[in-house]
C-alpha cells in the first residue's frame, strides 16, 4: 500500500508542476486531494491493516500530504510571480488617448409631456399639487357625486385594494382618475384655487389606446363668477401651446357626475391628420374616425363643491382632465399608434426621442 501511495504522490506532483495558471492549479488540488480523490479513497483502506502497518502507512500519508501541499504553494507563488511580471506591459493604459463619451439618457416621453404641461399651466397661475394615488372610495367617488351603487361608477374599471373598510370613507382603491384630489383640495379652504394634479391612475383596460396604469392631468379653478367661457379659453390656450398650429379641437356635450354642464375634449388625430383613414385606405388604427378623445371637462357640480366645504352659491369652479400619454401621442412628430409601446422599455423606440 505504501508503494501505491508513492505512485499517487508522483502523479499528483507531476500534475502540479505542469499547471500553467492558478485556475488549473486549483483544479488539480481539488481533483487529487478532495474527498473523492484517489488518495482519499486509498486511505479508507487503513482499517483493514494491522496496527504496525496502519502506523507506518499513516505516517507516510501525512508526509505525502505535506509534500503535495508544499509543492502546490510553491507552484502557486511561481504562477503569481509570472502573472505579475508582465502586468505593467499587458495592462498598460495610455492616459493621453481620448476617452469614450459615456452614453447619456434622457427623460421618458411621458415625463417630457408632464414637464411641458406643468410649464404651460404655470403661466396661467396654476400650481401643481400632489394627492394620493391609493385613496378612499369617498374621495374617488362619493365626494364626486357618485353615491354607493351608482351605475356611473362602472365606467371607471376600478381596482379595489384588499384593505380594511373605513367606516365613513369606504373601501380603498387605486385611483382611477386624478379628480379624486378635488375634495382634498377644496377642503383646504384656501380660495380661490388654481390647482393642477398629475399622477398615476389605474383602470382595468388594455389595448392600443389604453394601459392599466397611465398618468392623468387634472386642472381645477375655483373662484367667483367662473364660467364656461373661462374653461374654453384655458383649453384653447393649452391646445395652441402644446400641439401647435394645424391641430383642431372640439368640445362635445357629455355627462359626468361631477360636472354640470360637462364636455369631452377632442383633438384631430395626428396619425391620420384628422381623416380617420390609414395610408392603405382602411380606418386609422388609433382614432378610427379622425378625432381622439383627450379627456373631460366642465363646470364643477354644486354637490362636489358642497362635499368639499365650499358654498356653491358664492363660488363656481371649472375642472378638466386628460391622460398624459394620450395627449403626448397626439403631438406633432410623435407618430405613436399604440400606447402600450411607451412602457415596453424598447431602446430602439425610446432613443428616437
Chain mean position to CA 193: 32
Poorest-pLDDT segment among 101-110, 298-307, 323-332, 337-346? 323-332
Residue 149 lies in a domain: yes
Cell of 233: 379659453
Examine the pLDDT at 311 and tell me if it is beyond 90.
yes
Contact indicator for 172, 136 with CB cutoff of 8 Å? yes
Single residue among 53, 88, 123 that ends a domain in this structure: 88
Rounded CA separation 256/144 (Å): 9
> For helices 22-33 and 2-18, what crossing angle results, to 10°?
170
- Of 261, 264, 265, nearest in space to 317 by CA: 261
Burial 278-298 (b: 16+ CB within 10 A, else e): eeeeeebebbeebbbbbbbbb
**What confidence tier does 42 reach under pLDDT thresholds 50, 70, 90?**
low
Instruction: Say yes or no: 66 and 138 in one domain.
Output: no
Instruction: Say yes or no: 130 and 276 in one domain.
Output: yes
More confidently predicted of 285 and 295: 295
Provide the pLDDT for residue 179.
92
> How would you classify the pairing of strands 193-202 and 127-129?
parallel
How do residues 96-106 score in pLDDT, each as one tens digit? 888 888 888 88
Residue 93 lies in a domain: no
How do residues 190-238 score in pLDDT, each as one tens digit? 999 999 999 999 998 888 888 899 999 999 999 999 999 999 899 888 9
Contact indicator for 265, 296 with CB cutoff of 8 Å? yes
Single residue among 58, 88, 118 that ends a domain in this structure: 88
pTM of the full structure: 0.65
**What is the domain extent for residue 51?**
2-88
Residue 200 lies in a domain: yes
Residue 168 lies in a domain: yes
Percent of the chain at pLDDT > 90 equals 41
Instruction: Say yes or no: 53 and 140 in one domain.
Output: no
Chain mean position to CA 4: 65
- Mean pLDDT value of segment 256-274: 86
Amino acid at each position: 500500500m505504501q508503494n501505491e501511495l508513492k505512485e499517487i504522490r508522483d502523479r499528483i506532483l507531476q500534475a502540479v508542476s505542469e499547471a500553467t495558471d492558478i485556475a488549473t492549479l486549483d483544479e488539480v488540488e481539488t481533483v487529487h486531494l478532495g474527498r473523492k480523490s484517489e488518495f482519499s479513497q486509498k486511505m479508507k483502506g487503513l482499517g483493514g491493516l494491522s496496527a504496525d502497518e496502519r502506523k507506518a502507512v499513516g505516517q507516510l500519508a501525512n508526509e505525502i500530504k505535506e509534500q503535495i501541499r508544499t509543492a502546490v504553494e510553491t507552484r502557486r507563488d511561481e504562477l503569481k510571480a509570472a502573472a505579475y511580471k508582465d502586468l505593467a506591459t499587458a495592462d498598460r493604459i495610455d492616459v493621453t488617448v481620448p476617452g469614450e463619451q459615456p452614453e447619456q439618457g434622457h427623460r421618458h416621453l411621458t415625463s417630457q409631456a408632464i414637464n411641458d404641461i406643468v410649464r404651460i399651466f404655470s403661466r396661467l397661475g396654476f400650481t401643481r399639487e400632489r394627492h394620493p394615488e391609493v385613496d378612499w372610495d369617498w374621495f374617488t367617488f362619493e365626494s364626486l357625486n357618485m353615491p354607493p351603487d351608482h351605475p356611473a361608477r362602472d365606467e371607471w374599471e376600478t381596482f379595489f385594494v384588499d384593505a380594511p373598510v373605513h367606516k365613513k370613507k369606504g373601501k380603498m382603491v387605486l385611483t382611477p382618475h386624478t379628480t379624486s384630489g378635488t375634495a382634498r383640495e377644496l377642503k383646504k379652504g384656501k380660495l380661490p384655487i388654481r390647482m393642477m394634479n398629475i399622477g398615476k391612475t389605474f383602470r382595468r383596460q388594455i389595448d392600443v389606446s389604453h394601459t392599466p396604469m397611465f398618468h392623468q392631468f387634472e386642472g381645477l379653478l375655483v373662484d367667483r363668477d367662473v364660467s364656461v367661457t373661462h374653461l374654453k379659453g384655458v383649453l384653447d390656450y393649452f391646445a395652441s401651446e402644446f400641439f401647435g398650429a394645424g391641430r383642431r379641437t372640439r368640445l362635445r356635450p357629455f355627462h359626468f357626475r361631477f360636472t354640470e354642464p360637462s364636455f369631452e375634449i377632442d383633438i384631430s388625430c395626428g396619425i391620420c391628420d384628422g381623416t380617420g383613414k390609414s395610408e392603405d385606405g382602411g380606418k386609422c388604427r388609433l382614432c378610427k374616425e379622425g378625432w381622439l378623445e383627450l379627456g373631460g371637462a366642465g363646470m364643477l357640480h354644486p354637490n362636489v363643491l358642497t362635499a368639499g366645504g365650499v358654498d356653491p352659491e358664492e363660488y363656481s369652479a371649472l375642472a378638466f382632465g386628460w391622460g398624459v400619454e394620450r395627449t403626448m401621442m397626439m403631438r406633432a412628430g410623435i407618430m405613436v399608434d399604440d400606447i402600450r409601446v411607451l412602457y415596453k422599455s424598447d431602446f430602439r423606440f425610446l432613443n428616437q426621442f
